[in-house]
Amino acid sequence: MQAESTTKEQAWEIVTRIEEQIRKVVIGQDDLIRRILIALFGRIPYSFKKGEESEAGKSGSGHVLLEGVPGLAKTLLVSAIASTIDAKFQRIQFTPDMLPADILGTRIFDSKTAEFRTEKGPIFANIILADEINRAPQKTQSALLEAMQERQVTIGETTYGLEDPFWVLATQNPVEQEGVFSLPEAQLDRFCMMVRVHYPSPQSEYEMLSASIEKVKVESVTDPQTVLWIRQLVGEVYVDDKIKRYIVAIGQNTRSNQSGTLPIVNEMVMHGASPRSYNHLLAMCRAVAFFRGRDYVLPSDVKYIATDVLHHRIVRTIHAEVENVSADEILAEVLRHTEIP
């Protein structure tokens, strides 16, 4: 028991040091930093055991979509996180003329050997920053689907596995901005969380002006293997069956035309949360409990992170868009009326 406690304290110390390094350059966004790290250390199963001799079912970190107007340090935040982890980092700037091969790679004919060789794209890294992902057309956005879900990439007839951790953090401008393409529902559902980045407080903005970011050095704190170790600890956080039923009840209550569904959901929701979102929410709840110093999940952990996990999966009706009823408002009503265990 003492050894287990020491192990968790060591993991906590690493997480705290990561937060401290990021706060050197990202000022006044402590809750945002915490939510992003919750996704990094959340353990989400994405595959199953294939055959008797293969490795056990696989799991990975939760991909994150950051939404906010330009100038809120979204890119700076991701770069700072990558700097704290001694892992391979790639930034992909999405543009309207980008092709899927620019992300995944392609097969090139080598005239010297008279054979085709594979030129791997920037997707082959541990941490991917998909910057302004909705500036590229949906055909290009869809190039990420296999990589994000299966942690593998198929080029030609060959499938290549991606190293673990493989973590995608994408930024996007609000859909009301000029020159953007909306993300397809299948693409959105691959993101474990969508976190909206808001303006910092006036005091934080003043501190930004007073800080000399160019003189700050963000130091490496950990490595990929340690990230996997902490993620394994998070995956061992206990979840009672009542909490699991609570998560299912929340998801069921986001779907329209079911018995007992809230009027706002029947009127404003076309499609509710997917079954995949349950696994994502469960994993994030474990991470929230871990970050709060517990080895078990409480309903308050679910309520804290549920909106970030679910709001981008809610497809609203035309009525909701006309009335300007957001997915956040709908989820607030769902959480308010779902019975807490």
205 and 256 together in one domain: no
Which of 189, 208, 232 terminates a domain? The answer is: 232
pLDDT category at 185 given cuts 50, 70, 90 is confident
180 and 324 together in one domain: no
Which of 199, 232, 265 terminates a domain? The answer is: 232
Task: Name the 3-class secondary structure at 170.
Answer: strand
- Residue 338: which H helix or E strand, with range? none
The pLDDT score that the predictor gives to residue 232 is: 93
- Residue 271: which H helix or E strand, with range? strand 269-271
pLDDT at 87 over 60: yes
198 and 259 together in one domain: no
173 and 220 together in one domain: yes
Q: Judge whether 279 lies within some domain.
A: yes
pLDDT at 55 over 50: no
Average pLDDT, the chain: 87
Distance CA 145, CA 153 (A): 9
Domain at 61, CATH number: 3.40.50.300
DSSP secondary structure letters along 69-100: -TTSSHHHHHHHHHHHBTS-EEEEE--TT--T
Q: Judge whether 109 lies within some domain.
A: no
Q: Judge whether 21 lies within some domain.
A: yes
Give the β-pairing of 44-45 and 59-60.
Answer: antiparallel
Question: Tokens at residue 260, please?
Answer: 């007992």
Distance CA 280, CA 278 (A): 5
The pLDDT score that the predictor gives to residue 54 is: 41
Distance CA 11, CA 22 (A): 17
**Cis amide bond preceding 100, omega within 30:** no
Mind listing the pLDDT tens digit for each residue in 287-325?
A: 999 999 999 999 999 999 999 999 999 999 999 989 999
Its sign, for the CA torsion 35, 37, 40, 42, is negative
Distance CA 64, CA 77 (A): 12
User: What residues make up the domain containing 183?
Assistant: 2-93+129-137+169-232
Which of 191, 210, 232 terminates a domain? The answer is: 232
252 and 273 together in one domain: yes
Residues ≥6 apart with Cβ < 8 Å to 195:
32, 35, 36, 64, 65, 66, 67, 308
- Whether 94 and 131 have beta carbons less than 8 Å apart is answered as yes
Q: Give me the amino acid identity at 43.
A: R
- Whether 225 and 87 have beta carbons less than 8 Å apart is answered as no
Q: Judge whether 118 lies within some domain.
A: no
The pLDDT score that the predictor gives to residue 209 is: 83
Mind listing the pLDDT tens digit for each residue in 130-154?
A: 998 988 888 888 888 889 988 999 8
pLDDT category at 1 given cuts 50, 70, 90 is very low
Domain at 289, CATH number: 1.10.8.80
- Whether 284 and 297 have beta carbons less than 8 Å apart is answered as no
- Count of structural domains, the chain: 2
221 and 242 together in one domain: no
Distance CA 266, CA 248 (A): 18
Mind listing the pLDDT tens digit for each residue in 197-231?
A: 888 888 988 888 887 777 778 899 999 999 999 99
- Whether 284 and 43 have beta carbons less than 8 Å apart is answered as no
Q: Helix %, strand %, coil % for the chain, to 5? A: 50, 15, 35
Q: Judge whether 100 lies within some domain.
A: no
Question: Tokens at residue 234, please?
Answer: 């998070």
pLDDT category at 241 given cuts 50, 70, 90 is very high
Q: Judge whether 285 lies within some domain.
A: yes
41 and 64 together in one domain: yes
Question: Tokens at residue 99, please?
Answer: 């092709």
The pLDDT score that the predictor gives to residue 178 is: 63
Q: Give me the amino acid identity at 224.
A: P
Q: What is the residue whose two structure tokens read 């950051």?
A: 66
The pLDDT score that the predictor gives to residue 186 is: 81
Mind listing the pLDDT tens digit for each residue in 4-32?
A: 556 888 998 999 999 999 998 888 889 99
186 and 88 together in one domain: yes
84 and 189 together in one domain: yes
The pLDDT score that the predictor gives to residue 6 is: 67
Q: Judge whether 32 lies within some domain.
A: yes
The pLDDT score that the predictor gives to residue 143 is: 86
- Whether 332 and 264 have beta carbons less than 8 Å apart is answered as no
173 and 88 together in one domain: yes
193 and 273 together in one domain: no
Higher pLDDT, 221 or 175: 221
Q: Judge whether 111 lies within some domain.
A: no
214 and 241 together in one domain: no
The pLDDT score that the predictor gives to residue 45 is: 84
